[in-house]
Structure 1
């Protein structure tokens, strides 16, 4: 997985590198190395991110709730 695709997947999932590091319970510095291409994205992680990104692309958030406000 290229660094560009890695970052694109994170955008589709709406995760920051910090979110991914938290989900994986790993060092943020490793995620940053994946993000910049200084480390290769492991095949298993790439497949998982691709699956999540594809699901988010296929099922975007509903627009029905935009600008929804709480009634107090």
Structure 2
């Protein structure tokens, strides 16, 4: 996995390097090194990120829920 694709996968997933480091319980500096190409992305990690990113790209984000919970409380109470 190239550093550019690594970064693109994180963007597609809406993850920051900090989010990934937290999920993997690893050092943020290692994640940043993979971003810059100083460290190679391990094959297993690359496969995992690619799978997640492709799934997000294919399925997209549901639009059904846009605006939900934004209407005034009186409108919500009236629907009950």
Count of residues in correspondence between the two structures: 72
Larger relative CO (CA 8 A, sep 6+): 1 or 2? 1
After TM superposition, the structure 1 = structure 2 runs for residues 1-72 of structure 1, keeping only pairs within 5 Å, are 1-68=1-68, 69-72=70-73
Superposed CA RMSD in Å reads: 1.1
**1:7-59 Cα distance to aligned partner (Å, 9 max, x none):** 01111111000000000000000000001100000000000000000110111
TM-score by length of 2: 0.83
Structure with bigger gyration radius: 2
Structure 1: state its 5+ residue gaps. none
TM-score by length of 1: 0.92
TM superposition outliers: structure 1 runs of 4+ over 3 Å: none
Distance 1:25 1:71 in 2: 40
